[in-house]
Copies of this chain bind each other. A is one copy, B any other.
Amino acid sequence: MTVPDPVSAAAVMSIPDFVAHWQGHRALTRRVIEAFPDDQLFTFSLGGMRPFGAQATEIHLVDAMTVTALRSGEWPEPDWASGPTDKAGLLAAWDAVSAELAEHGPHTDPAFFTDMHALPWGEMPGWVAAIYAVDNEIHHRAQGYVSLRALGIEPPAFYER
């Protein structure tokens, strides 16, 4: 076997680390969804932004596609209009993806992260595609924090996962 160069092969995050990191973010996003009143999640709009329910549904579709890819190496583009449209449906879909990530994520083929993948938005290495899902989730969720504050609701602590 080839012994890898110790510096270039050194991991910032192992595969189980990455799965734990993402699940922590997914748990936080779930708390942000839950914090919205049922009747505001898909209707309250601030500064011309989409309601947080629409953003959270998009996060869900990107996350679901990425979890599928970790398992299968395939990136089937979702129907972006197909997501849940109420809080209970969104939370149920959310929990199903978290369960799939918990079951299959730690067994992701290590080559996934260095191989190139064709996503709906371009070709990139697997590690870029995987971390993009987490970054996209943090970015849109933070806009949900602003909406919660505007509604007079204290958002969940960012640093708790």
List residues of A whose CB falls within 8 A of some B CB. Answer: 1, 3, 6-18, 21, 25, 46-49, 110, 113, 121, 127-128, 130-132, 135-136, 138-143, 145-146, 149-150, 158-159
Q: Are A159 and B17 in contact (CB under 8 A)?
A: no
Determine how many copies of this chain the complex contains: 2
In the complex, which residue of chain B has the Cβ closest to the Cβ of A122?
B159
Q: Could you say which residues of chain B place their CB within 8 Å of the CB of A18?
A: 12
* Cα A130 to Cα B13 with chains together (Å): 10
Main secondary structure of the interface of A (DSSP, over half): helix
Q: Could you say which residues of chain B place their CB within 8 Å of the CB of A149?
A: 47-49
| 19 A-B contact pairs sorted by A residue (CB < 8 Å) | A8-B14, A9-B11, A9-B14, A10-B110, A11-B113, A12-B13, A12-B17, A12-B130, A12-B131, A13-B13, A13-B127, A13-B131, A47-B146, A48-B149, A132-B159, A138-B139, A138-B142, A139-B145, A141-B142
* Cα A8 to Cα B41 with chains together (Å): 40
Q: For the complex formed, measure the closest distance between the CB of A148 and the CB atoms of chain B, giving whole angstroms.
A: 9
Choice from B49, B113, B136, B143 contacting A10 with Cβ under 8 Å: B113
Q: Which 4 A-B pairs have the closest CB atoms?
A: A10-B110, A142-B142, A11-B11, A47-B150
* Cα A143 to Cα B140 with chains together (Å): 9
* Cα A11 to Cα B8 with chains together (Å): 10
Residue of A12, A110, A121 with most partner-chain B CB within 10 A? A12
